Structure 1
């Protein structure tokens, strides 16, 4: 009778020992055996009481546990795989960080958006409506658009080559001149044709090698003067922040996107000018070139020479006056595409280092501008003071004097008219008449 308590008779005391602790021990043994059997022979469809258990309900798709992620990418230059615990000292063979791991995917790339905006602008008017002559003005509209499209495609290719070469952000300042030179060389070669020749005075002259011989002139006149190229490449390649009017903006900010677009448009226009400049120096008056490329209003030799002289004077004036003044005023002149055509604008950018390198006549121009700024306000104040004094003398002194003289004359005439003797003499003269 394990499950019954001991019976106690009336008037008698229980002689047997209490069995409560023994039952508790047996109960613990049975529970342990039951737990062991349940673990060894358990099935997924029955509960402990032998009742069938319904399978767990499948959660909605939105609440499903995501599939396990792949292990972190292992960088071949790093001794430990990336993504391990924070605070670990990772031994690396190269301390440089991969600059491409933070790049956006191509469909949402900022560079793609900037290129699409510029491409849409190239479909509009391309006439030069500014007061500055450009080399590309001599081209027909279709040829100018074709050249700009080609330059845009070459810039895209250059960005792809920089990505393949894994150029670091800190190397863009050093690589920018080489990138611009390669862009110019590739554009000249593709626009004219690598093996294109012209017959000049019964001689076959290759066009592209002749134009490429002007590389030092083009480099000094146009390519070296392109502003903020490293910042543009950094924004398009690595989504770096952009400085606009002295303030730093994130790569996706509207101000940064607009400034990057302005710099890219200026780059396209100036590279197109760099392609046409050696053509004007060597084959400006060749009939085949005029027929295939030139605008109809610039077909005559006189018009071509006038256009070349305008360009020559513009470069001289820019080098001696406009550029030193722009450096002193911390400005860059950018050409861009608008609804009316090509226009130019000025943007702010610090140019202190360039200002310190000026010398000779360029330095004298900056000093003249500074002297004008210092003297002009005082001179205008002095002129204004002298003018006010002259006005005071003419109105308050001379004017009042003339007024007093006139008033005295009027009083004298009025007094003589009222004099009786004057009236009697007048009547006598009338009677005699």
Structure 2
């Protein structure tokens, strides 16, 4: 880190403008450059057609721009060209992950002064900006010979901000570990437990804020060999075992880096722990860990085959199927046929043929479609992310596919999709093959193997279906949120994410509509009831303390005085007799 700011040629600070579609990166870059007095941030924003008008109204010396957009269009590169054509005095520095030699060469030919990869150390970035402001060009990486010679290297550089972030995260993790050990001690008092629990929540919130506010500082320039085998990036970054990487490489449809990474994480978490930690029971809870893991793996394979089919049909974002439920239906049917073909086609006299299993699946498809598959949210967004590396909208902010926020959200959506499809397959088995003893022994947990326990489990699920349909789902629609299930390091957990659901709210009717009216009425009268209860409570406190309490105090004082007077009179009488 520099101990003193670098001086530029001009006496006034250098006016900067940042153009980037990643708001987190813009925030981090503006915070870093704000520490240097020779740089003055005029503004920041995303790539747009109206940006040229904004630039013409302000005095700007240098623009830092990332022309790569999540939708992989040339709008950002066209904007750079238009800036140089309309405002030739403004210097432009490209700051992007792009390693496309042709696009960078064309940008240089249009007059753009420099290029700096994202993730460059702050000291080097400041020097590049200083030289560009002095009129120099910074295109050293565009030497074709050196560029092709160095492209086989995987560059991973972490500037001081990333190192500081990692140091803080390590300290927070150490404190969390110590607090967890203290909370496990049974001799702690209730007050100590409350204190350390609050401290733990504060540290978790601090870790979340650090991860959200500080951008990722690691850049990867993949080699052509890595591009042919995307699992190499997974092995380098996450140190995956060779066996796990080889098994993942056999799954079609997940060739690009982002899908391969989230699928590998999913398989790893499923293998480690699939315990249900959510508040509601799930259909897959009745399965043993081994068949449960096998079922999820089959669904992942079928999802990959569907992605392969969409690629073969040359599907684009424009002609992507609007009805994603049909895609889910296909994945569910093929996965159910493969899984049941292994466990339900028996060699005994009571065995079922493939044709009979297909008839059962076709008959059961409408109910599964209505009860389970149609309620899985963000299916189209997830498929486009896996198929086209399309960006994701999180809390009304669009994140590029390579960002950690988008990867985390896509992984959560994938988990919820896999759990929903698996629940539909297990529901089919429970309703049609629960009486077959061979299937019970192969698939079900030992604690749920008896007919009574299976019937109790099915009745409990039936009640949960009604509760979710008539209470929880209308409540979530009214509160504009979705409930997602995902695998954490401990097991399956539930979380809520915000999303607008106004159209669904307008379509509610019957008892589901009444639920929203009840919630709205409760919200409307809750402040009044709290005020009335508070007023009555204050009145009762006053009566009990000021009236009843003082009355009881006076009575008690009178009794004590009477007892004291009686004792004195008794003593006086005895002394008089003496």
The reply to whether residue 119 of structure 1 matches residue 267 of structure 2 is yes
Structure 1 residue 186 corresponds to structure 2 residue 337: no
- Find the partner of 1:367 among 517, 529, 535: 517
Are 1:145 and 2:293 matched, yes or no?
yes
Deviation at 1:291, TM superposition (A): 2.2
Pick one of 390, 399, 405 that aligns with 1:255. 405
1:382 equivalent in structure 2: 532
Q: Secondary structure at the match of 1:193?
A: helix
C-alpha separation between the residues in 2 aligned to 1:417 and 1:295?
78
Q: 8 Å contact 1:211–1:279 — kept in the other structure?
A: no
Name the SS of the counterpart of 1:168 in structure 2: coil
139-148 vs 167-176, which moves further: 167-176
Instruction: Give the 5 Å matches for 1:203-352.
Output: 206-352=356-502
Does the Cα contact within 8 Å between 2:391 and 2:401 map onto a contact in 1?
yes
Match of 2:18 in 1: none
Distance change (3 Å), C-alpha of 1:289 and 1:349? same
1:394/1:276 Cα in 2 relative to 1: closer, same or farther (>3 Å)?
Answer: same
Q: Deviations over 1:11-58 (max 9, x none)?
A: xxxxxxxxxxxxxxxxxxxxxxxxxxxxxxxxxxxxxxxxxxxxxxxx
Kindly provide the CA deviation profile for residues 390-412 of structure 1, in whole angstroms up to 9, marking residues without a partner as x: 11111112222333344455556
* Structure 1 residues 370 and 106: CA distance shift in structure 2, 3 A: farther
Q: Residues 82-101 of structure 1: matches in 2 within 5 Å?
A: none
The one of 476, 496, 505 aligned to 1:355: 505
Give the conservation status (yes or no) of the 8 Å contact 1:336–1:343.
yes
Please report how far the alpha carbon of residue 381 of structure 1 lies from its aligned counterpart in structure 2 after TM superposition.
Answer: 2.2
* Alpha-carbon contact 1:336-1:342 (below 8 Å) kept: yes
What is the CA-CA distance between 1:331 and the residue it aligns to? Answer: 1.3
Kept in 1: contact 2:287–2:444 (CA 8 A): yes
- Name the SS for the 2:509 alignment partner: coil
Gaps of 5+ in 2: 1-142, 149-226, 231-255
1:403 aligns with one of 522, 537, 553 = 553
> Hey, what's the Cα distance between the residues in 2 that align with 1:203 and 1:292?
15
Q: Which moved more, 1:294-303 or 1:112-121?
A: 112-121
Inter-CA distance 264–376: structure 2 relative to 1 (3 Å threshold): same
Give the unaligned 5+ runs of structure 1.
1-61, 68-103
Q: Separation in 2 of the partners of 1:219 and 1:315? A: 14
1:162 aligns with 2:310: yes
- Indicate the larger mover: 188-197 or 252-261: 188-197
Offset of residue 127 of structure 1: 2.0
Q: How much does 1:362 deviate?
A: 0.3
More off after superposition, 313-322 vs 192-201? 192-201
* Root mean square deviation of aligned Cα: 2.9
Q: Following TM superposition, by how much is the alpha carbon of 1:196 offset from its aligned partner in structure 2, in angstroms?
A: 6.0
Cα contact 2:280–2:464 (8 A) shared by 1:
yes
| Cα separation, partners in 2 of 1:386 and 1:106, compared to 1, 3 Å | farther
Aligned to 2:276, the other structure's residue is in SS state coil
Q: Is the 8 A contact 1:196 1:208 kept in 2?
A: no
Query: Would the aligned equivalents of 1:169 and 1:234 in 2 still touch at CA under 8 Å?
Result: yes
Q: Which has the higher contact order (CA 8 A, sep 6+)?
A: 1
Give the Cα separation in 2 of the matches to 1:165 and 1:424.
116
Pair 234,408 (structure 1): closer, same or farther in 2 beyond 3 Å: same
1:393 aligns with 2:540: no
Determine the C-alpha separation between the residues in 1 that align with 2:563 and 2:373: 85
After the TM superposition, which residues 64-103 of structure 1 pair with which residues of structure 2 at under 5 Å, given as runs? none
Cross-structure match for 1:3: none
The 1:112/1:372 distance shift into structure 2, 3 A limit, reads: same
Q: Structure 1 residues 347-356 or 406-415, which shifts more?
A: 406-415
Instruction: Using the TM superposition, give the Cα deviation of residue 275 of structure 1 relative to its aligned residue in structure 2, in angstroms.
Output: 1.2
User: In 2, distance between residues paired with 1:112 and 1:222?
Assistant: 26
Q: 1:413 to 1:228 in 2, by over 3 A?
A: same
Larger Rg: 1
Following the alignment from structure 2 to structure 1, what is the Cα–Cα distance between the partners of residues 144 and 392? Answer: 41
**Residues 126-168 of structure 1 deviation map (CA, whole Å, 9 limit, x = unaligned):** 1223231111112111111111111111111111111111222
Superposed CA offset, 1:87-109 (max 9, x none)? xxxxxxxxxxxxxxxxx987253
Name the CA shift for 1:358/1:173 in 2 (closer, same or farther; >3 Å): farther
- In 1: Cα distance, 2:401 partner to 2:455 partner: 45
Which residue of 1 is the match for residue 89 of structure 2? none
TM-score by length of 2: 0.53
Cα drift, residue 173 of structure 1: 5.5
Cα distance in 2, alignment partners of residues 164 and 150 from structure 1: 21
Partner of 1:58: none
